[in-house]
Structure 1
């Protein structure tokens, strides 16, 4: 499904998106007995004992309505039967570049009020009736204090997992940017560059400043790929670049992509592992169907890992025995994925329904981030991995299963760290899912 490029097509999608958000909000307000929803974009925060600000993060409830991601001190007011009100803070400032004058496809959809100081928003926020005010506590103004009522937030969070066609458009755009940058990172790896240099190549290709990324890039060479959330970027290149794992995304109007690719240096054993994981990941992606319990996909990923371990001779044990003895958790200690959208780990992944409640994780799998049944319009990540993590391997050595492990092969593969392959996948009402990530890579080939 290709994204519409005309302004008319974009406006049609955005109009329908806002209508759906209005419907969801009116439903949530009625359930909670509130008269209006007031949303703070957030405020700029500063380091302790310093005047240096942290990177501003927009309240996801705010950017659900308006494609504004660098706009602190702004507000939205949503009322049944009214046009959404946007209080747009555009300070007069010569120390920093203030937000530009409002313009673009979204402007005419709002009752737009431009203010110069945060406090100037107050007269436009003091409304009659009972207000559901969503935001962090420090976004409060005099008499307008976030209360974040769960009876309103729960149905909004539960519904947000299902994306509108406008949101899917933005996520396709984010996938296209991310795929382009991943290819650039792979070229930099083949040139023997350092993690820091590969990261810079990614930034240049994606067209984002570092502060605009949806999350901090994971750029891991060699054994660093065994650290699931490796947080550093070595400036010096290693003596030999064996492998590269990049977990990095992009954003379009506040919507994220989340992509992981692993690249080898031609070693046949490691390439066999990459190829096996790639085939496995594609099979798991095909399970993203409406009505499927996402927990079943996670459990299927462990069966897939068991098959790969046996197929490649890493663990010479029956697959059922591997699962029973939780051998696969040594090599795949994280969940198979999560919801994706306005947040990289989008909210609502454990909710039993719009009243709240929690759907449990499978026993022995504490790190899974999504336990819901899949619905058409949900976008999830599918990211199986197989790693050689020293701490977990040491624990495996102390079990009876250690006798079935080819430790010499494990030692060889440990120098490469591991493999993770991650795609962003949209669930369709019928038939096969839409793989936003693979489609983006295919468009570049």
Structure 2
């Protein structure tokens, strides 16, 4: 894989340089300066929070553990890396820069964060400085010009071949760990032990993962972001929802699967219906598909499943129009993914900025752009039995069209979510997640 990335990286870097040139021209600056960032200290303590590198920094090179470092791009010049490698016997010092990307940078090694100033462009006022406020060195504070960020965020949706390669590997790592977690569930493990099996298989610490794992047994699957991890297994594990990803050089995968225990055949039938629907939504990740329209389409399909399986008596159209479908499917169909799990630019009108609003009644959708080749998005429909939302539904006129006995019976299973990472192609989508599952099998 390293040989392939080495071949793809020069074109990736050239693409970022062109985008940087455009962003600087739009914002009226001469230099693009990107701070890796600095750790933040916990309140009233001498311990830092886990360090998360600026995503703009790791866009340029596969380095995620070099706080205090900087990248400088000046049009027409080789990019510069100012790399902090401190003299420090308290902590592990970042290794010297190495790998396929090194030859493409002018590299200056510094031993103290303040030394970066000597290597940054002389006129700070002519720099578009991207980063968090705590990354500042004397006279060089991040200004994050909106025009530059809008341009960079818009184009970040279009992945280079190098980035698609990164995302494929992240999917493979996540799938490997998903299979270990499913096996632990089948063997009767607790949520905590399932999570441990996942970490052992993915070979990443919890802080290295792109987000906190969701490992939910039974009713816990109705909590969309459940992260409590019970230490003891339930008396009867009927269902399992796992939403967990992996990181590869800063690129994320985001994968969700739902499993039924052998004795829970009725729940398996509902999983199968959602899985079939999800595959249909994936097929629509094509050039020209409006993502917001796809989300609304998903509501109609899922409402149809609820009617077919006897949970509601109203039509799918009435369920969507009345908001009943949103009780059972209360989140968005998905989001952009890449350098961040919920990647930026999902609502932008164009590279100048602007916002494409969400459809009325769908406040949690995370993307409204029209799909184009090289975009990568998640497709994650779900059906849930959430006590709070069901209690609210019982007080509405539509409650008369709900089969409450069946709904109440299914509360024990929590819910269903199935999520794949999908790259939009010219004609057909590439399902990074299912390809990885197929290869692992």
Q: Partner of 1:17 in structure 2?
A: 12
Does 2:178 align with 1:182?
Answer: yes
Under a length normalisation based on structure 2, what TM-score does the superposition of the two structures give?
A: 0.98
Cα distance in 2 for partners of 1:274, 1:114 equals: 54
Cα distance in 1 for partners of 2:88, 2:27 equals 40
Q: Distance in 2 between matches of 1:151 and 1:321?
A: 43
- Provide the aligned length of Structure 1 versus Structure 2: 439
Q: Displacement, 1:371?
A: 0.5
Deviations 1:235-276 (A, max 9, x none): 111111111111000011100000000011031210011000
Say whether 1:238 aligns with 2:205.
no
Please say if 1:41 is aligned against 2:39: no
Pick one of 209, 214, 231 that aligns with 2:210. 214
Query: Residues 288-315 of structure 1: CA distance to partner in whole angstroms, max 9, x if unpaired?
Result: 0111110011001101111110111111
The separation in 2 between residues aligned to 1:330 and 1:397, in whole angstroms, is: 11
Task: Report the TM-score when normalising by structure 1.
Answer: 0.97
**2:2 & 2:145 partners in 1: Cα distance?**
39
Q: Provide the residue aligned with 1:357 in structure 2.
A: 354
What is the CA distance between 1:408 and its match in structure 2? Answer: 1.5
Residue 6 of structure 1: how far off its partner (Å) = 5.7
CA contact (8 A) 1:126 1:144 kept: no
CA-based RMSD? 0.9
Alpha-carbon distance in structure 1 between the residues aligned to 2:103 and 2:228:
44
Pick aligned residue for 2:23 from 28, 46, 50: 28
Instruction: Find 2:81's aligned residue among 76, 80, 86.
Output: 86
Tell me the distance in 2 between the aligned counterparts of 1:320 and 1:152: 43
Secondary structure class of the residue paired with 2:193: helix
Query: How far apart are the structure 2 equivalents of 1:233 and 1:92?
Result: 39
| CA distance in structure 1 between the aligned counterparts of 2:231 and 2:65, rounded to whole angstroms | 30
Alpha-carbon separation, structure 2, partners of 1:361 and 1:436: 26
Question: Which residue, 377, 388, 391 being the options, matches 2:388?
Answer: 391
Give 3-state SS (helix, strand or coil) of 1:96's partner.
coil
Which region of structure 1 is more displaced relative to structure 2, 81-90 or 395-404?
A: 395-404
Specify the SS of the correspondent of 1:415: helix
Structure 2 CA distance for aligned equivalents of residues 88 and 416 of structure 1: 50
Matching residue of 2:309: 312
Q: Secondary structure at the match of 2:422?
A: strand
Check conservation: 2:154, 2:345, Cα contact below 8 A: yes
* Contact 2:121-2:127 at 8 Å conserved across structures: no
Structure 2: stretches of 5+ with no match in the other structure: none
Q: Where does residue 436 of structure 1 map in the other structure?
A: 432
Question: How far does residue 127 in structure 1 lie from its aligned partner after superposition?
Answer: 2.6
Aligned to 2:423: 426
| In structure 2, C-alpha distance between the alignment counterparts of 1:443 and 1:127, rounded to whole Å | 51
2:335 aligned residue: 338
